[in-house]
């Protein structure tokens, strides 16, 4: 398969993933909005403001979480609402201005929403090169090479430790968010920035 054929295949796969996500996200937003209307007084969703580059917090190594309490639960819920509102597939705490090792990922697969508190990567293998975007860099996209497989250890909202293995796009999204917690921006790993006509199907993290 030639280089052009590979690019076309990758673009088609990315476009199909994006189409599925748009449909899924639209359904989720409808469900959330419907639930909101049931609240007396029309309680608003907890949508946080997205912090964009060059905010200093985006390039800091975040502090570990030590309390697994109601405040953490509230932050995770807000992060999910915010991620859905801005059509992302992942979000890290510094992207909403919080200095904490908290991140979530949801690519609408069988894993559902993955909540990662104090995550660390313990194993990687393989290689993949695909387009990436970031909510903290509106309108900017580039090709990034990452391991195709990742194994992590993290804690859930109740303080229970777990191990997770992922590959492909999920592995990419997880690594992108953990990078945020270490103050590493995807732009430092871009091999080539993408032009407007190459952006079909690129998902945002």
Tell me whether residue 85 is one of the annotated catalytic residues. no
Catalytic residue among 115, 132, 177, 205: 177
How far apart, in whole angstroms, are the C-alpha atoms of residue 166 and residue 124? 10
Q: Which residues are catalytic?
A: 177
């Amino acid at each position: 398969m030639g280089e052009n054929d590979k690019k076309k295949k990758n673009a088609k796969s990315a476009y199909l993933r994006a189409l599925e996500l748009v449909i899924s996200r639209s359904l989720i937003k409808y469900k959330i909005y419907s639930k909101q209307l049931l609240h007396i007084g029309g309680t608003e969703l907890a949508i946080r403001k997205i912090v964009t580059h060059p905010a200093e917090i985006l390039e800091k190594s975040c502090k570990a979480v030590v309390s697994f309490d109601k405040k953490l639960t509230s932050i995770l819920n807000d992060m999910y609402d915010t991620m859905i509102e801005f059509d992302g597939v992942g979000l890290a705490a510094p992207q909403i201005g919080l200095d904490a090792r908290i991140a979530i990922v949801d690519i609408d697969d069988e894993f559902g929403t993955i909540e990662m508190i104090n995550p660390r990567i313990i194993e990687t293998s393989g290689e993949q090169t695909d387009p990436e975007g970031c909510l903290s860099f509106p309108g900017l996209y580039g090709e990034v090479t990452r391991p195709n497989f990742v194994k992590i250890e993290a804690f859930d909202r109740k303080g229970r430790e777990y191990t997770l293995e992922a590959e492909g796009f999920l592995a990419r999204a997880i690594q992108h968010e953990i990078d945020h917690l270490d103050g590493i921006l995807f732009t430092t790993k871009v091999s080539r920035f993408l032009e407007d006509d190459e952006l079909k199907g690129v998902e945002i993290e």
